[in-house]
Every structure is written in structure tokens, then in C-alpha cells.
Amino acid sequence: MIQIERSFIMSVTTTAPPQKARTTAQNIGLILSFIVLGAILLLPTPDTLSTGGHRMIGVLAFAIILWMTSAVSYPVSATMITALTALLLGFSPNPEAPAKAMGTANALKLIISGYSSPAMILVGAAMFISVAMRKTGLDRRIAMLVLSSVGTKVSRIYLGVIITGLILAFFVPSATARIACLAPIIIGIVENLGIERKSRVAALLMVGAVQADTFWNIMIQTAAAQNLVAVGFMQTQMNTSISWIDWLTAAAPFSITMVIIAYFLTQALIKPEFKELVGGDVQLAKMLQEIGPMSNDEKKLLCISIGLLALWATGGKLHSIDTTTTTIIAIALFFFPKIGIMDWKFAQPNIDWGSIVMFGAGIGLGSVLLKTKAATWLAQVFVNAFSLESASVFILIAVMAAFLIVIHLGFASATALSSAMIPIVISIVVGHNAEGLNPIGVTMLMQYAICFGLVLPVNSPQGMVAYGTDTFDVKTFMTTGIPLTIIGYVMMLVFALTYWHWIGIA
């Protein structure tokens, strides 16, 4: 069983899928992206926008269409975005000397600046933590310990799945890796008890795990890459940052409230066939026994992880070491002779380098949009379109959150959405003069909205991993996702008027 679980986890997180034939939709998306890019470039440049900014808006539109249609993989889209930016921006007038072109070398420096940002380094480091968890099996041990202690009632096992997701969210900075850990355990419990994989019990546990994980992503700054992208933009463009503990303080009440709602709502909408898994305790005990005693590597990883968590939580309070630096220190310990738990030969093939390429290009694109003032121009267009010039902070939050939640329906990656939209959000909040507006706080709330990938399995990588287990269909996922999205949005507005207003971020 453990070997099966290991194979499943490695296959969904590290093994490159076989080459698939391109679909008609992908071909149309690729052609459409170039058509839209060309159309934007042929439009006259507005008086309030630089030539470079005009061209970068074209590149942004090009990127969004690629991402929404999955016309090419994310790493491929990153190389295309980098090449287009270097060429189009390179042959644009230099803002400091309009008579001369900026030059492709200078333009390239701007777009690849994302690869040297602290957020980018933190995203890469987070992947090493996920690989370490998978190698040692500590994540599976944590999951089995929790699930084997909750009892055999379906509602309690479901609660155990949610609690496990929460615990792992503190230690595994990847929602995809967390679901990849939980999925084979859920399947193992269900199938070894003779329950159909397509049963409502299996659907409840799998769908519930994904939906709860979305809210844990919101709560914990280091739980998801998209949060780190947003924090990176706030650090570079707003010259400030939000500490790990301040993020947790702001988001925890909202996330916990939504998980409680999700717990009861999903059980009402996906009613399990029976209330108790007879023999479930024996099966869980057997699966836990098969893991064996805790290895030295697991003990080392647990100690390092607890230390890292403590440093994250006390950053800016008890010490001045930033989150990225503390994480890099932990990764160094992973590889340190005798102390370490893995070597480079193991880590290198198990890291998703393509995603790192995509993160760097996405952060770089956002930085160039801000540098060329394209984000500022787009922000003004958004403000004018929704008549937000004199809107209150509450109306600003309501409109922007609704827009981001809706547009996420077309994205398969919240990281891509953050890369495209957070620079525009920053330009909106920095340029708005509403009384009592906290630009940092509102930007953080908009990042919460970006995490709302609840409606379709394809709205998040973890949703696609769960969907690949064949335990539920899209309709079942939407049955829970649509009401949770609506309730979540309403609760955001309630929190904006109450708790977030009281603590000064809204």
C-alpha cells in the first residue's frame, strides 16, 4: 500500500506526463493570443501611456489568453513572454532618452528581474520542502496519525481530512503536494473497505479536502505560491511587507469560518451513502503500521520544519530575519552533510523546474507593467469603467474582489492570476484617495479573492490532482463550489465591515 501511495504521489507531482496531441481549443488559443497582441500593437498609443507601456499591455493580453486557454504549458508561455518583452520593449523609446531605443539587453534585464526577487527564491525553496516531505514520508505519517485517531464515522474522517490539510499547510508550502499526499490515503481507505471509488463518500472526502485547502491557502502566507508572488510585489513596489504572523492574524478568522461552513455545506450537498465506515479503524491502523517506525530523516525534517515555522511566526517580532532567508537556511540544512536528509541527485529530478521558470516570468511581467506605468494606466481604465473615482473603501473592495473571483474562472493557476492582476491592484489602491484606505491591507484582501478557485477542478492544480482520482465529476465539484464562492464573497464583505475594519486593513 505504501509503495502504491509513493508511486501515486510521485506521478502526480514530479513525473512529466506523456506528450499529448494538441487540441483544437489550444490551437485557437495560440492563434488568438497573437491576433490580440497584433491588434493592440496596431492601435494608436494613448496620450497618457508610453509606447513601452502600450506594448506591454499587448504582452499582458497575450499572456492572459495563453494562460486561460492553456494554449501552451506554463514554462513555454514564460519563454514566449520573455522573448516578446525583450523585443517589443527593447525597440521602444527609452523613457530617459526618448530619441533612443531602450535596447533589448535593458528590456531583458527588466523581464528577468523576477528571477532574482525574494518571492521567486522563496517559491523555489518551498518546492525543496515539498520534495523533502515526500522523500521522508513525514507528510503521510502526519496524515495517518490524524486520520487514525478521529474514529470511523464518515463525518469524523472528513473532519480528520480537513485537520490534516491544515497541519500540512503549515509545513508543506504547496497545495498540490498536500492533496497529492491525501488523495492516495483517501483512495486506500475507500477501496480497501470495498467502497466504490465513484461513491458519494469518496467524493465528499476528496472534494472537501480540495475546498478546505483553498481556504487554508488564504490563511497561511507560505501555504501557496500565489501568496508569495503577491508579497513579492508588495515588497518591491510598495516598499513594505506583511509578516507571516500578521498575515495569519488577518486571514485566520475568515478562513476558519469558511472551512466550518464548507464542512457542513458539503455534507449536506454530497450526502454520503452511510454514516460510518465499518472496519475503517482497522484499515487505518493497518496503513499506519505499514509506514513503520519514524526514521531519523523524518525526525530531522520535523525538527527543521518546526524551527522554520517558529522563525516564520516570529519574524519582525522577535527577530529581523526575513521569511526568504530563514527558508534558505532550512534548505541548506536539508543538504548539509550528516545533518541533511537528501542530496542534490535526489532533489534535482524531483523539482518542478518548469513552474519555477513560470513564476519568475510572471513576477517579471508584473514588474515591467509597473515600471512602464502600464499597470497604472490599466488601473485608471478599471476605475473609470466601474466609476470608482470617489468610491469608498468598502465599494472598492467589493468591486475588485468580485472582478477577481469571476476572472479566476478562466484561469488554471492562481499564481498566473496574481502575476497578472496584483500589479494592477497595487496601482489602483496606491492611486486612490478614499478616506481610510490602507493600500497594503486592501492588496492583501485582493490576494485572498484571487485564491478563490472553488468552482471548477481546473481552477487550481490541486483541484486537477483530485479530479484525476476519478472519485467525482465536474458537476459534483460545482455543486459545492458555486455556493461556497458566493458565501465566501459575502463573508469577505462582512469581514471588511467588521474584523478587517477593526484591525485597520479595510
pLDDT at 16 over 70: no
- pLDDT of 415 reads 87
Does residue 162 share a domain with residue 28?
Answer: no
Least confident of 378-382, 434-438, 485-489: 434-438
Does residue 258 share a domain with residue 208?
Answer: yes
- pLDDT of 447 reads 97
- pLDDT of 487 reads 98
- pLDDT of 1 reads 39
pLDDT digits over 100-109, tens only?
899 999 999 9
**Confidence bin at 14 (pLDDT 50/70/90):** very low
pLDDT digits over 404-417, tens only?
999 999 888 888 89
What mean pLDDT is predicted for residues 147-162? 89
How many domains does the chain divide into? 2
- pLDDT of 51 reads 94
- pLDDT of 18 reads 57
Query: What phi, psi does 271 have (nearest 5°)?
Result: -75, 120
Does residue 174 share a domain with residue 132?
Answer: yes
> Contact at 8 Å (CB) between 91 and 104?
yes
Q: Does the residue 388 lie in any domain?
A: no
**Confidence bin at 19 (pLDDT 50/70/90):** low
- pLDDT of 10 reads 45
DSSP string for 271-328? --S-SB-TTHHHHHHHHHHHH-SPPHHHHHHHHHHHHHHHHHHHBTTTB---HHHHHH
Q: What is the 3-state secondary structure (H, E, C) of 419-472?
A: HHHHHHHHHHHHHCCCCCCCHHHHHHHHHHHHCCCCCCHHHCHHHHHHHCCCCC
Does residue 259 share a domain with residue 143?
Answer: yes
pLDDT digits over 225-267, tens only?
899 889 989 988 888 888 999 999 999 999 999 999 999 999 9
pLDDT at 6 over 60: no
> Contact at 8 Å (CB) between 191 and 147?
no
Share of the chain above pLDDT 70, in %: 96
> Contact at 8 Å (CB) between 114 and 364?
yes
Q: Does the residue 295 lie in any domain?
A: yes
Q: Does the residue 36 lie in any domain?
A: yes
d(CA 369, CA 424): 8
- pLDDT of 5 reads 40
Q: Does the residue 143 lie in any domain?
A: yes
Least confident of 245-254, 294-303, 309-318: 309-318
Does residue 319 share a domain with residue 249?
Answer: yes
Which of 37, 10, 22, 111 has the alpha carbon at shortest distance from 71? 22
pLDDT digits over 314-331, tens only?
987 888 888 889 999 999
Report which listed range, 12-21, 191-200, 279-288, 421-430, is most confident: 421-430
pLDDT at 388 over 70: yes
Q: What is the mean pLDDT of the chain?
A: 89
- What range does the domain containing 314 cover? 118-348
Does residue 172 share a domain with residue 91?
Answer: no
Least confident of 4-8, 34-38, 166-170, 257-261: 4-8
Does residue 338 share a domain with residue 195?
Answer: yes
Does residue 209 share a domain with residue 65?
Answer: no
- pLDDT of 13 reads 44
201 vs 280, which has greater pLDDT? 201
What mean pLDDT is predicted for residues 388-409? 93
- pLDDT of 275 reads 86
Which of 305, 329, 348 is the endpoint of a domain?
348
DSSP-assigned beta bridge partners for residue 153: 276
What mean pLDDT is predicted for residues 197-221? 94
The model's pTM is: 0.86
pLDDT digits over 182-206, tens only?
998 888 888 877 788 889 999 999 9
Which of 348, 370, 391 is the endpoint of a domain?
348
Q: Does the residue 464 lie in any domain?
A: no
Which of 282, 317, 348 is the endpoint of a domain?
348
Which three-class secondary structure state does DSSP give residue 20?
coil
Does residue 328 share a domain with residue 202?
Answer: yes
Share of the chain above pLDDT 90, in %: 61
Does residue 73 share a domain with residue 154?
Answer: no
pLDDT digits over 69-95, tens only?
889 998 999 999 999 999 999 999 987
Q: Does the residue 505 lie in any domain?
A: no
What mean pLDDT is predicted for residues 416-432? 92
Does residue 153 share a domain with residue 283?
Answer: yes
Q: Does the residue 317 lie in any domain?
A: yes
- pLDDT of 8 reads 41
- pLDDT of 200 reads 93
Does residue 271 share a domain with residue 162?
Answer: yes
Q: Does the residue 104 lie in any domain?
A: yes
What mean pLDDT is predicted for residues 30-58? 95
- pLDDT of 91 reads 94
